[in-house]
Amino acid sequence: MYHQPPHPTLLVPGPIEFDDAVLESMSHYSESHVGAQFVSVFGDVLSMLRKLFQTNDPASQPFVVSGSGTLGWDMVAANLVEPGDEVLVLHTGYFGDGFANCFETYGVRATQLKAAIGSRPQLPEIERALRERSYKMVTITHVDTSTGVLSEVQPLAELVRRVSPDTLIVVDGVCSVGSEEIQFDGWDLDVVLTASQKGIGCPAGLSIMMVSGRAMQRFSERKTPPGSYFASFKNWLPIMQSYESKKPAYFATPSPQLVRALHTALVQLLSPGPPTSASSSASDVSGGQLSTADILSARFAAHRTASHRVKAFIDQDLGLRQLADRPENQANGMTAFYIPDGLQATDILPKLATRGVVIAAGLHKDIKTRYLRIGHMGISVTDPKREDITNALQALKEALIEAGYQPPSSQSSNRPNSSV
């Protein structure tokens, strides 16, 4: 069994810490991407993604393509809308701007509905926007990695279906899949796009997407060719269908090692208990008596518990303010918080590094020097043997004190309570 060498604990909001078994899968010997063994593994991956996204609809189509999560934007813009179409982008931070820019690259007209930093567009204003103009698509950033703002997808989807039923609902779930609840069928979604390196727990390099039958029908009715060659559903759809039916096919070479790592990560994610107890077989996922929904529910609950703990420590022990100051706007897989006045990220991050902890500086262009971001997702949360969160919170407190800040709890020498 492979064991990682000692290293600083990575608690940025992606990439995250990876389980030893996942990294061991990355070391698999070289194999043909159209060989029977790999084709079977890839087929299992696509089937397991249906479980992760909670879709039983055979018309839903999973995609796994080599690339970052950003490739998912291109696949949406190149295939599901056409030049001149109108889309509504619900903006909660940096990644709303990015998605809008992507649409504009393809000649699609993107209207952004923006909220104040740390907040999200509200349902009444979204309804107003949908009634004022006809949109082919609305996009929702489930968790914006730049701000830690969580959007409530279910009521948003219900609103869109009521007011503008023909509008496609696209969820950017790069920083939410695996740590926040998503019910693809139950919420009547059209696209959820994500990436491998965050809540799913696999090294970066795979763009992952689930697309509804309604959206695939929209693609088939296009009047113009897809706006991209590499990102075209026309090229990838027959490949995904072949792999899922365990038949070889070729358009562009996938990464067998990354796909195997994703396979291991999904088996762990869809099995009960900590990662080390998971079976290595996709046929065993769902845990015997436990349903997939039960397993995922327990996973999301673990992330909520860890999130509450981190946020309580930042608010109460450190006396610092979060960007998303309302609980309903706060993500469960990360926390973004303001730096004390008079300090900068460069005063804190190196001191954390000397204590073996890595978190992230700010990303939102308007306030990027004024805040930090900590990720708490994946095995750092779900593996009870790991003390990543406890150690990181203690290190953060010590780094702040060393930088000259006196938190309200600085008189106490107790370590953060792991039972919070």
Q: Are 208 and 195 in contact (CB under 8 A)?
A: yes
- Distance between CA 180 and CA 178 in Å, rounded? 6
pLDDT category, 419, cuts 50, 70, 90?
very low
If you search the block for the tokens 């996973």, which residue do you land on?
A: 299
How crowded is residue 401: how many other Cβ atoms within 10 Å of its Cβ?
13
Residues 6+ positions from 184 with CB-CB distance below 8 Å:
53, 54, 55, 60, 192, 210, 212
pLDDT of 275:
74
How crowded is residue 341: how many other Cβ atoms within 10 Å of its Cβ?
7
Give the residue-averaged pLDDT of 282-291. Answer: 65
Residues 6+ positions from 234 with CB-CB distance below 8 Å:
225, 226
CA atoms within 13 A on the CB side of 146: 18
β pairing state of 191-195 and 168-172: parallel
Q: Are 315 and 327 in contact (CB under 8 A)?
A: no
Q: Is 286 a residue whose pLDDT tops 60?
A: no
- Distance between CA 202 and CA 193 in Å, rounded? 15
Give the residue-averaged pLDDT of 286-310. Answer: 91
- Distance between CA 55 and CA 60 in Å, rounded? 7
Give the residue-averaged pLDDT of 136-150. Answer: 98
Residues 6+ positions from 74 with CB-CB distance below 8 Å:
102, 228, 231
Helices then strands, each counted (H, E), the chain: 13, 14
Taking CA 167 as the corner, what is the angle to CA 163 and CA 172, rounded to the nearest 5 degrees? 115
- Distance between CA 72 and CA 95 in Å, rounded? 12
Q: How far is CA 263 from CA 22, 307, 392, in A?
A: 8, 27, 29
The pair of structure tokens assigned to 222 is 């296009």
pLDDT category, 420, cuts 50, 70, 90?
very low
Q: Are 377 and 15 in contact (CB under 8 A)?
A: no
- What rounded mean pLDDT belongs to the chain? 94
- Distance between CA 87 and CA 110 in Å, rounded? 5
pLDDT of 1:
85
pLDDT, tens only, 353-393: 999 999 999 999 999 999 999 999 999 999 999 999 999 99
Which of 170-174, 279-283, 286-290 is the most confident on average?
170-174
- Distance between CA 301 and CA 307 in Å, rounded? 10
Q: Which residues pair with 201 in a beta bridge?
A: none
- Distance between CA 399 and CA 415 in Å, rounded? 14
- Distance between CA 45 and CA 265 in Å, rounded? 10
Q: Is 417 a residue whose pLDDT tops 60?
A: no
